[in-house]
A and B are shown apart, each in its own frame.
Chain A
């Protein structure tokens, strides 16, 4: 037995002229939490759809749990669980009924299924809600049931596509906690997509950064962050009430300065190299008449990693807007999770 859970080779998906996923290759190790991080439209969901056999690749191939996603799709399906962008649950059915239906689609014998549903409900502290309809639940409760729905077949590999999208902060924390627990207690391999840097940083053992359908960087969060700072690079955030574009371009022009981001009218983030970088920056700002209110020396975040690698921010709209293809989701137009 190899220790590889998923192996993708040149995985590609085209919708007409638009390439949603562009020759992506990566391996996911067993028991790992692997993150695909990128802005909306980067191709994360499409990649997940191909790996979970919902969408046929245009080129390339992948094995999931040791089975080919195209030739042995039935086998793949037996070994995976899927939490997609939209909730896979029937609102008018009760929690237990939903879990029973999906359990039965995996041919789990009734008595075993009943026991398993009971323990899964306990796992997410929802046992007293088992016989209530889904549409009476809060979004956080729904998502907890949705996650254990993907666990009824005790999958080796769990796909989580934006699992905290549209949840309030408390539910988001709950679901993140749940992801850790699933990974720790069941040794389940988890592959999750997110556009939230902090989420990827918190949960993932390794992260693949996706942009325009390609994986542009792949490493542990620590190594990714180190790659930004280098040895003597620092990131400073200045709050300057009278910040103007002239000042920004003066700072950008400095030799020691790597990149400059103006978050809002009064804040800039500057990455600068060299022992005297800070002095040079302050001198320049003062010379331009800038009134510095606060300065912070920032630890690099994944946001910075993304910025450095792709040259644009995560919030940026994709350069080639795939309007005719539902934002790169093919015929399945993404809909808000809350419905």
Chain B
């Protein structure tokens, strides 16, 4: 059977599938809404430093002070001054640790700052003044973020005080004190312009994932559904290659995946300020390669599953680990070792990685060669296993 004939038949089957799909307005609407929701979700669900503001924090100034002056009050005043500029916190007064504790338990506070009793005495006697930062351990994300913010503020207030002391006591210029107190200065420099943005991290991975999902859920569903309702027999009894049936279905599912992929791309650029540095053509080729690497798995599941429901269940079971372990939402590097090992065996890891390199870092074909090779190997191995299985399944 000629290749041209196989392609012609698969085009007709693809036409049929898409026509059938387009007959339900709700399905078409969902095709568009799904990627929109996906982007909104991942875009706004994760907290970032800039999103924290007006967090309720209580200050307990226990400093007994010294005659005429209290460094504790000065500290609180400067804290208020800094906060008036950033509005990260919403400050209130507290009498002691126990009150702060009660209020954190109530949920009216997310943290507290306690200026110790001997604060002024310590500072005037050549010792460190102690500031305690109280955090809400039940909310680790906010807790660690508040801890970082407060530590930063307290640190910089400390350095300022130290600089003033050095300036007064030893008559050293302010520039020199900075060099003495902070001998290292960190300058951030990315390889492309602009600040890193979570969308830039997540958008390429989501594109790869949506195409994968569309194929992985769509293909076994499409084939086993037709097997269930009996229409597959009509195609199998016609002089049509088994390849045409698979290929036609893959083409239809890929088209759907691509539409969703491009909605995500357009949204990232238009709504979330993602800048694409690489070539769009390379992005499309990568998406097609992603499809190739997953087709075998889809066919394999189709061959094993006797019914549509089974296929869907197997699909869901496999898809979740793939979504979360392949570095689409969370960087692979921050996972525990054994999970990183699992991620190494998931094609989506490589697809997301390559997409990110091309889209965010503007990489050409060279740097992604390794990912491309791995994807091709995945696809080839899975297809080698899947095709004989499929042929056998169709001929039972």
Contacts and interface: CB of A to CB of B under 8 A. Distances in A.
Nearest to B239: A77
A222 B13 CA distance: 46
B233 interface: yes
Interface stretch (B18-26, B29-37, B352-360): B18-26
B231 A90 contact: yes
A241 interface: no
Interface in A237-288: none
Given A105-B238, A330-B396, A54 B233 contact: yes
28 contacts: A52-B237, A53-B236, A53-B237, A54-B237, A56-B395, A56-B396, A77-B238, A82-B237, A85-B230, A88-B230, A88-B231, A88-B233, A90-B231, A92-B24, A93-B23, A97-B16, A97-B19, A101-B12, A101-B13, A101-B15, A104-B12, A105-B235, A105-B238, A153-B238, A332-B227, A332-B230, A333-B307, A335-B229
Contacts of B16: 90, 93, 97, 101
A288 B235 CA distance: 63
Nearest to B394: A54
A101 B15 CA distance: 9
A89 interface: yes
B344 interface: no
B54 interface: no
Contacts of A78: 239
Interface in B119-177: none
Interface residues of B, number: 30
A230 interface: no
A106 B240 CA distance: 8
Interface string A61-96: 000000000000011011010101111111011000
Given A85-B230, A335-B229, A77 B237 contact: yes
Nearest to B236: A54
Nearest to A84: B233
Interface of B: 1, 5, 8-9, 12-13, 15-16, 19-20, 23-24, 227-231, 233-240, 306-307, 393, 395-396
Interface of A: 52-56, 74-75, 77-78, 80, 82, 84-90, 92-93, 97, 101-102, 104-107, 133, 149, 153, 330-333, 335, 339
Contacts of B306: 331
A89 B230 CA distance: 8
A153 B240 CA distance: 13
A87 B234 CA distance: 9
Contact of B230 (A84, A133, A149, A153): A84
Contacts of A82: 233-234, 237
